[in-house]
Amino acid sequence: MPYLKVLTGKILQLVLVLWAVVTILFLLFRLMPGNPMAAYIEPAFTLEQQEQLMAQFGLDRPLWEQYFIYLGNLLQGELGQSFRYREAVSERILDLLPNTLVLTFTSLIIAYAFGVLAGAYLAWRHGKTVEAIGIPAVLVTRAMPEFWLGMVMLAVFSFWLGWFPAGGTRSPGMEFGSQFELYTSGEFFRHLALPALTLAIYSQGLPLLLMRSNMLEVMKEDFVTMAKIKGLSGWTVVIRHAARNALLPVMTSFAIAVGYQLQGNVVVESVFSWPGLGRELVSAVSAADYPLAQGAFLLIAVVVILMNLIADLLYAFLDPRIRHA
Amino acid sequence: MTEALLSVRDLRVSYKLSHGSLDAVDGASFEVPQGSIVGLVGESGCGKSTAARALTRVIADNAAITGGQIVFDGRDIARIPERNMNALRWREIAFVPQSAMNSLDPVYTVESQLNEVLRKRGGMGRSDARKRCEELFELVGIETSRLKDYPHHFSGGMRQRVAIAIALALKPKLVIADEPVTALDVIVQRQILDQLRDLQQQLGLSVILVTHDISVVAYICDRTVVMYAGRVSEEGPVKAVLRQPAHPYSMGLKNAFPDLQSSASGVLTPIEGAPPSLAEPPPGCRFAPRCPFAAELCRQTAPLSEEVSPGHAAACHRASEAGVLRSQAALPQTWMVPA
Amino acid sequence: MRNATAEKSHVTIAAKAIGAFRHVFQRLRLPLRDPFAVAGLCIYLLFALTAICANVIAPYPATEILFNPDFTLAADLRPGENGFLLGTTSLGRDIFSQIVYGTRSALLIGLTAAVIVALIGSIVGVVAGYFGGWVDTLLMRLADIAFGIPFLPFVIVLAAFLEPSIWNVVFAMALVLWRDTARVIRSQVLTLRTRGYVDAARVCGSSDLKILLRHIAPNIMPLAFLYGSIAIGWAILTEASISFLGFGDPESISWGYMLQDAFANQALGKQAYYWFLPPGICIILIVSAGFFITRGYEQILFPKLGR
């Protein structure tokens, strides 16, 4: 089965890339100017803690030994202790991951829902003024710095109109029984609205343009013309036949979009004080909290690499040559 | 004599180009009597496909019907509002495309595509539609178990039968088949053509068969309409046009096609030259540059269609001399002199 | 006698230079028919001129703290007050001057990054596509790794160790962002290789270098130029993000830095639109200009997507 071969190949690729990124991170933090132990140990730690960390990460051993200890620790999920929070890095970043994921997926779903419909519409109205204005408008949305858009949204909808809160995931003082309770509360959605919308506005350009160009190709196909000759309604022709065929490649792009979106997350989380991985990375780096910075970066990279794999697999899966072999 | 089901008069279809326009069909007139199979034949670029598609009023974005009438069932449908035309589509006028592979949506089953027309255009309920699907498949000779298959599961010939089944779904009066067998191998061609003829007799359909292959016309058509450079050069019963052509172009075609049934030595004599560019057509008769019998009048004035015998007409100034010209045309030497 | 010969050689050199320039210009096939592309080129030109003549256009140095006639700090002034075209920051700096000087860092970083990314990407793509074999595999694995590195987080992590400087972004881009260009150029080279004239040149005994320079390079130039233009926008947006997050160079005033300044000084709450709108609009203009120009290219290079 050729698909199995493709799958194995892709997984090997994933392992390779993960290993490379992990190694790069290792070298970055150990070889950069300054005290190599600074990657894990801060003078503010007690002597006991320092010794424990030194043993755990082999900081007094030669570099190559440290490397293997590092890899071993990683596989066990051991990432050191945060300088500022005095808690395990792995715990902290896993706590933050859901917030980032919720923001990413919510905004992407909005972006894709809008992008696909708008792209199909623009393809239908090919050659008319709507298209001539629409496309440059979409390009402009891709030219905006996401954080600036966030600032404008805040200025208008939060500070001026007062419709939405200015940041965070909840108002100060509000308590929730569990993470799940928080996510399903109206309060959360009020806080999620602006950041998700900001990211969505920036991201919708890709699915929109992709859908439009696919639609234009599909609309030229004979079966679309046949649908018109059969006298089927505009809706049936455009949606049931053209859009259905044009949608496939757009869906595979969703996985890659997650990877790119995570970068936008970094700045938007900062503008809206959204407690996610991106914001944590920024504050960790600013405060020279190296273990936490490493951990946050690593988790983001893992998600990106995983999404790339999923995108590749989806693409291969939908390729008729492989599917119908 | 009953009124013809379809009467095309002086049809003009123009394409808008980046520089100027082009008349792919420039004053074509022909008739399709009730219950007959009419072969619309001509070489590539003569306008036959454009004319056929114009009858459905679904043509390219940069094309438009710029003149003439299309009288269907007593009504000129060339310029009626889109809504009214759409009511006719598939219910009265159906279409069988050239390549069924490209004309069937790859992501839906054939049953789903049949149901689409039966229910959305025919207003049938679910169970009625189901019965009709089975009926149609039986009609075209495909096992009903294959209704749930996707288009790419069928062979070329079977796909063409599926396309025919879909075309007949709503019991149309007129079926336009655009090169329905061109993409198939010879044996399958014969099967499909036989099928078409049987169906036509069984259901009393009127069929327009567009093709560039005269042998197809000879095989199943009752009447034929020969097109050249956007105009109709000859029209009449198949036997008359093929055995006693009245237009020099038809005479030349006779020599240019191998006849599987005749045992003659079979020297093929092509017609030298090529059809004129439709962007800048010559004045007068469009065949004149290639015609061995062209006179000065031919080059100046376009000929009108003249009846040479009942139901048989040719657009030639020298149509009355057809008998004499035919004997000359039978000689290969006639065609070797460049006009 | 000697003067005449010298003059003649000057003329021929000049003529050859103009000829070469025109040849390169034609190779680039600038998209001049699309109105948006033309608008894009004009915007680039406008910003370039502003950057060059910044000293003349800007009334004040970007970092100078200014005072009112009555010796109070000229802080948070609205547009038009005391002659400040776009008002002043909370620290008393002229916003308009900052905008004008901002063009310099934007263009500097944009163009440098674009050239480097296009150059590295093209070289990698050409070498991988042309030589194939293990070289190709190695380079494409490197590209895979580059794709696995999330770009903005990477720049932030680098900022932890490097001195704050606008060149950090360029450095990071050079390390990571050549990946898209490399892949696309590689597949272009692969298509070119299947065309007869490369094999024909080989049979004639042309060296690889000669083939690369004479046959391959000119054919990939438009594509490299296209990806370079996209890279300009990316660089400017990334620099803005980095400065906004506080990792930028506080000495050189960039538009991103202005936005960070505005945000940190509660410009949003103060409704100081004159402070945070202009820098954003400038970024949008220059990045859109890049997109419009590349769109014009798309029509030329990939006409099947056309109207």
Mapping DSSP onto H, E and C, the string for chain C reads: CHHHHHHHHHHHHHHHHHHHHHHHHHHHCCCCCCHHHHHHHHHHHHHHHHHHCHHHHCCCCCCCCCECCCCCECCCCCCCHHHCCCCECCCCCEHHHHHHHHHHHHHHHHHHHHHHHHHHHHHHHHHHHHHCHHHHHHHHHHHHHHHHCCHHHHHHHHHHHCCCCCHHHHHHHHHHCHHHHHHHHHHHHHHHHCCHHHHHHHHCCCCHHHHHHHHHHHHHHHHHHHHHHHHHHHHHHHHHHHHHCCCCCCCCCCHHHHHHHHHHCCCCCCCCHHHHHHHHHHHHHHHHHHHHHHHHHHHHHCHHHCC
Per-domain residue ranges of chain C: 2-62+96-306
B129 CB-near residues (< 8 Å, 6+ apart) = B114, B115, B118, B119, B122
C-beta atoms of A285 and C159 within 8 A: yes
- Nearest C-alpha in B relative to A220: B60
**Considering chain C, what percentage of its residues have pLDDT values greater than 70?**
90
What is the arithmetic mean of pLDDT over A42-65? Answer: 76
Question: For residue A195, what pLDDT is reported?
Answer: 92
Please write the tens of the pLDDT for every residue from C254-275.
899 999 999 988 888 888 888 8
Q: pLDDT-derived band of residue A36, with 50, 70 and 90 as boundaries?
A: low
- For chain A, say whether B182 makes contact (Cβ under 8 Å): no
What is the arithmetic mean of pLDDT over C279-303? Answer: 81
Question: For residue C306, what pLDDT is reported?
Answer: 36
Please write the tens of the pLDDT for every residue from B185-206.
888 889 999 999 999 999 999 9
Place of tokens 């400040």: C84
Question: For residue C301, what pLDDT is reported?
Answer: 60
Question: For residue A322, what pLDDT is reported?
Answer: 46
Question: For residue C5, what pLDDT is reported?
Answer: 65
Burial of A173 from C-beta contacts in 10 A (0-12 / 13-18 / 19+)? exposed
Q: How many CB pairs (< 8 A) connect A and B?
A: 53
Say whether pLDDT at B12 is over 50: yes
What is the arithmetic mean of pLDDT over B271-281? Answer: 84
Q: Which two tokens stand for residue B181?
A: 């067998």
Please write the tens of the pLDDT for every residue from C156-181.
888 777 777 778 778 888 888 888 88
Please write the tens of the pLDDT for every residue from C176-213.
888 888 988 898 888 887 777 777 877 887 777 777 77
Which of A148, A271, A282 is best to mutate for the C interface (most C CBs within 10 A)? A148
Phi, psi values for residue C275, rounded to 5° = -90, -50
ipTM of the complex: 0.88
pTM assigned to the model: 0.78
Which of A269, A285, A298 is best to mutate for the C interface (most C CBs within 10 A)? A285
Using alpha carbons, select from C217, C194, C189, C215 the residue that is nearest to residue C204: C215
Residues of chain A in contact with residue C295, where contact means CB-CB under 8 angstroms, are: 135, 139
Please write the tens of the pLDDT for every residue from B148-171.
988 888 988 899 999 999 999 999
C-beta atoms of A241 and B105 within 8 A: yes
Residues of chain A in contact with residue C147, where contact means CB-CB under 8 angstroms, are: 17, 308
Q: How far is A240 from chain B (nearest CA, A)?
A: 10
Question: For residue C196, what pLDDT is reported?
Answer: 73
C-beta atoms of C150 and A259 within 8 A: yes
Place of tokens 């997926």: A105
Q: Which two tokens stand for residue B216?
A: 């197809």
Q: Does residue C175 contact residue C142 with C-beta atoms inside 8 Å?
A: no
Burial of C237 from C-beta contacts in 10 A (0-12 / 13-18 / 19+)? buried
Q: How far is B76 from chain A (nearest CA, A)?
A: 18
Q: pLDDT-derived band of residue B257, with 50, 70 and 90 as boundaries?
A: low
**Considering chain C, what percentage of its residues have pLDDT values greater than 90?**
13
- Closest residue to C287, CB basis, from A143, A160, A304: A143
C-beta atoms of C284 and A140 within 8 A: yes
- For chain C, say whether A133 makes contact (Cβ under 8 Å): no
Quote the CA–CA distance of C148 and A309 in Å, as a whole number.
Answer: 10
- For chain C, say whether A31 makes contact (Cβ under 8 Å): no
Residues of chain C in contact with residue A127, where contact means CB-CB under 8 angstroms, are: 307
- For chain A, say whether B105 makes contact (Cβ under 8 Å): yes
Q: pLDDT-derived band of residue C304, with 50, 70 and 90 as boundaries?
A: very low
Identity of the residue numbered A57: F
Q: Which residue has the higher pLDDT, A194 or A52?
A: A194
* Torsion sign, CA atoms B252, B254, B257, B263: negative
* Partner residues linked to B206 by β-bridges: B174
- Nearest C-alpha in A relative to B60: A225
Quote the CA–CA distance of A26 and A32 in Å, as a whole number.
Answer: 10
Question: For residue C4, what pLDDT is reported?
Answer: 62
Lowest average pLDDT, out of B306-315, C107-116, C224-233, C238-247, goes to: C224-233
How is A6-45 classified by DSSP, letter by letter?
Answer: HHHHHHHHHHHHHHHHHHHHHHHHHHSSS-GGGGT--TTS
C-beta atoms of A221 and B58 within 8 A: no
C-beta atoms of C145 and A145 within 8 A: no
Domain C2-62+96-306 annotated CATH 1.10.3720.10:
yes
Residues of chain A in contact with residue C176, where contact means CB-CB under 8 angstroms, are: none
What residues 83-112 of chain C have any CB closer than 8 A to a CB of chain A? none
Burial of A177 from C-beta contacts in 10 A (0-12 / 13-18 / 19+)? exposed
Q: Does residue C64 contact residue C89 with C-beta atoms inside 8 Å?
A: no
Contact flag for C and B (3+ C-beta pairs < 8 Å): no
* Partner residues linked to C35 by β-bridges: none
Residues of chain A in contact with residue B166, where contact means CB-CB under 8 angstroms, are: 230
Identity of the residue numbered C49: L
Residues of chain A in contact with residue B117, where contact means CB-CB under 8 angstroms, are: 230, 232
Question: For residue B2, what pLDDT is reported?
Answer: 63
Q: Which two tokens stand for residue C1?
A: 């006698």
Bridge-based pairing state of the strands B37-41 and B223-228: parallel
Q: Which residue has the higher pLDDT, A199 or B331?
A: A199
- For chain B, say whether A323 makes contact (Cβ under 8 Å): no
C-beta atoms of A231 and B121 within 8 A: yes
Rg (CA), chain C: 24
- Contacts of B184-188 spanning 24+ positions with Cβ under 8 A: B184/B156, B184/B157, B184/B160, B185/B156, B188/B156, B188/B157
- Closest residue to A231, CB basis, from B89, B104, B105: B89
Lowest average pLDDT, out of A179-188, B124-133, C63-72, C296-305, goes to: C296-305
Mapping DSSP onto H, E and C, the string for A158-195 reads: HHHCCCCCCCCCCCCCCCCCCHHHHHCCHHHHHHHHHH
B312 CB-near residues (< 8 Å, 6+ apart) = B234, B235, B236, B237, B240, B241, B246
- For chain A, say whether B153 makes contact (Cβ under 8 Å): no
Residues of chain A in contact with residue B95, where contact means CB-CB under 8 angstroms, are: 226, 229-230
Say whether pLDDT at A318 is over 70: no
- For chain A, say whether B121 makes contact (Cβ under 8 Å): yes
Please write the tens of the pLDDT for every residue from A212-246.
988 988 888 899 999 999 999 888 888 889 888 88
Say whether pLDDT at B54 is over 50: yes
Q: Which two tokens stand for residue A267?
A: 């700045």
Using alpha carbons, select from C102, C106, C105 the residue that is nearest to residue C86: C102
C-beta atoms of B90 and A226 within 8 A: no
Question: For residue C3, what pLDDT is reported?
Answer: 60
- For chain C, say whether A16 makes contact (Cβ under 8 Å): yes
Question: For residue B270, what pLDDT is reported?
Answer: 78
